[in-house]
Amino acid sequence: MSALEGVKVLDAATLFAGPMAATMLADFGANVIKIEHPKKGDPVRLHGHSKNGCGLWWTTLARNKRTLALDLGKEEGASVLKDLIKDTDVFIENFRPGTLERWGIGPDVLLEINPRLIIARVTGFGQFGPYSHRAGFGTLAESMSGFAAMTGEVNGPPTLPPFGLADGIAALATSQAILIALNAQQNRQSEGFGKGQIIDLAIIEPILAMLGPQPTVFDQLGIIQKRSGNRSVNNAPRNTYLTKDSKWVAISTSAQSIAERVMRLVGHPEVIAETWFDAGSTRAEHADLLDSYVAPWIQERTASEVIRIFEEAEAAVALIYDISDIMTDPQFQALETITTVDDPELGPIKMQNILYRMSQTPGKISWTGRKIGEDTESILKSELNYTDKKFQHLLSLNVIAQSDKEMK
């Protein structure tokens, strides 16, 4: 039995944070129904690379989900949602605050229908406050959280990540919040026992939490962390270094013992006796000096030599990988980080496996992202017991849609 078997989730969110949280639940057995607009679908279908008309982001992100094409903005579509909600455990949405309320399917209405419902509302800025009405994407969270301000070269501009960092962090936080709410619902000692609740998750907040104790540091010391390239303000040496064969490696000296091993390794044990070497933060103040010892030593050796010598000394080092390296690396292969899944359109395809290896309740990838509305008929007729006449009526109103071969 899967860990989340029997948990029904409606994923009405778009793009990344909310849908990714739903994917994590689906990977461990939750019954996830992906709700999309009948005409537009989820924009992630057209995001990034595609092959033979199949969006590769969608293929991965929508795995293990059934697809229902439903226009929630129409009265008849809202009525269908209300029917679905009756036996749903979790509802995930990322509409701007006030949208669901305007459609007559706000949290108050849904909780009246199903008092045990857990509603996860994932938006850029949360459900209240002066910015709550704004369009909110991960890029804005990466900007406003302080991430961009502290990322980049010392004299360079603030730097954004080339991927959905804030969305990914928010997805992990959302899935965690949902599991906490589900547990509270089952815990007799909890005030939430037997009850549903609303989760208000602002994408700007989880990424801020990942950036360390910056609010406390600023409050107590007035310090604003500046850009430092690949270096850290917490320890040194810590950087990327070019090898003799033009490859890049990264080293970390977060632990004092590792820092000492590295300096012995590169032939400068004398620096260990310096009083400032005893703490990572003061070592970071001497990063130029430490890099002047480490960089030349690494540049005189090939990457394989550097890795071997560092491993023998039990010092922390890693090659800088791109995805082609990950696909062939023996550690990733041992972990089965990349798996192969059959796709009806593309055949066997590789994608990242489930995040956690659980000994008693392992997850499973059963299928890849489906066509828009592929499961509309089976969900409405078999699960909601809609007659064919009612189904056809909803089709005629464009409230629902069935599978469209061009919208994989």
Residue-wise pLDDT for 157-194, tens only, equals 999 999 999 999 999 999 999 999 999 999 999 998 99
- For 296-320, the pLDDT digits (tens) are 999 999 999 999 999 999 999 999 9
Mean pLDDT of 131-147: 95
Beta strands at 65-70 and 31-36: parallel, antiparallel or unpaired: parallel
Mean pLDDT of 72-77: 98
130, 136, 203 from 126: Cα distances, Å: 10, 9, 8
Separation between Cα atoms, residue 215 and residue 263, nearest integer Å: 33
* Amino acid 408: pLDDT: 55
Residue 373 makes CB contacts below 8 A (sequence gap 6+) with 36, 38, 67, 68, 69, 400, 401, 402, 403, 404
* Amino acid 141: pLDDT: 97
* Amino acid 404: pLDDT: 61
DSSP for 118-178?
EEEEEESS-SSSTTTTS---HHHHHHHTSHHHHSS-TTS-----SS-HHHHHHHHHHHHHH
Mean pLDDT of 229-249: 95
Separation between Cα atoms, residue 34 and residue 93, nearest integer Å: 11
Beta bridge partners of 319: 249
Q: What angle do CA 216, 218, 221 make, to 5 degrees?
A: 100
- For 383-404, the pLDDT digits (tens) are 999 999 999 999 999 999 998 6
Residue 216 structure tokens? 């406390």
pLDDT at position 216 over 70: yes
Separation between Cα atoms, residue 45 and residue 38, nearest integer Å: 13
Nearest residue to 400 via CA among 38, 14, 123? 38
Binning pLDDT at 50, 70 and 90, where does residue 406 land? very low
Binning pLDDT at 50, 70 and 90, where does residue 68 land? very high
**Eight-state DSSP code of residue 334:** H
Q: What is the mean pLDDT of the chain?
A: 96
- For 49-60, the pLDDT digits (tens) are 999 999 999 999
- For 29-51, the pLDDT digits (tens) are 999 999 999 999 999 999 999 99
pLDDT at position 291 over 70: yes
Beta bridge partners of 11: 34, 92
Separation between Cα atoms, residue 36 and residue 334, nearest integer Å: 37
Dihedrals phi, psi of 169, to nearest 5 degrees = -65, -40
How many helical (H) and strand (E) elements, i.e. helices and strands, does the chain have? 18, 14
Exactly one of 11, 89, 167, 343 is catalytic; name it.
167
Fold for 8-210+358-401, please state it. Answer: Rossmann fold (3.40.50)
Mean pLDDT of 214-228: 96
By the 10 Å C-beta count (0-12 exposed, 13-18 middle, 19+ buried), 156 is classed as exposed
**Which of 342-374 are b and which e, b meaning 16 or more Cβ less than 10 Å from the residue's Cβ?**
ebeeeeebebebbeeeeeeeebebeebbbbbbb
54, 56, 163, 237, 317 from 48: Cα distances, Å: 11, 7, 11, 37, 32
Q: Dihedral sign, CA of 316, 353, 137, 48?
A: positive
By the 10 Å C-beta count (0-12 exposed, 13-18 middle, 19+ buried), 288 is classed as exposed
Residue 350 structure tokens? 């590789």
Domain boundaries, the chain: 8-210+358-401
- For 327-381, the pLDDT digits (tens) are 999 999 999 999 999 999 999 999 999 999 999 999 999 999 999 999 999 999 9
* Amino acid 21: pLDDT: 98
Residue 173 one-letter amino acid: A
Nearest residue to 335 via CA among 356, 305, 315? 356
Nearest residue to 13 via CA among 42, 40, 38? 42
- 288 a catalytic residue: no
By the 10 Å C-beta count (0-12 exposed, 13-18 middle, 19+ buried), 43 is classed as middle
**C-beta separation of 51 from 27 below 8 A:** no
227, 243, 317, 333 from 308: Cα distances, Å: 32, 13, 10, 20
Percent of the chain with pLDDT over 90: 96
Beta strands at 54-55 and 90-93: parallel, antiparallel or unpaired: unpaired
Residue 238 structure tokens? 């810590």
Beta strands at 31-36 and 8-11: parallel, antiparallel or unpaired: parallel
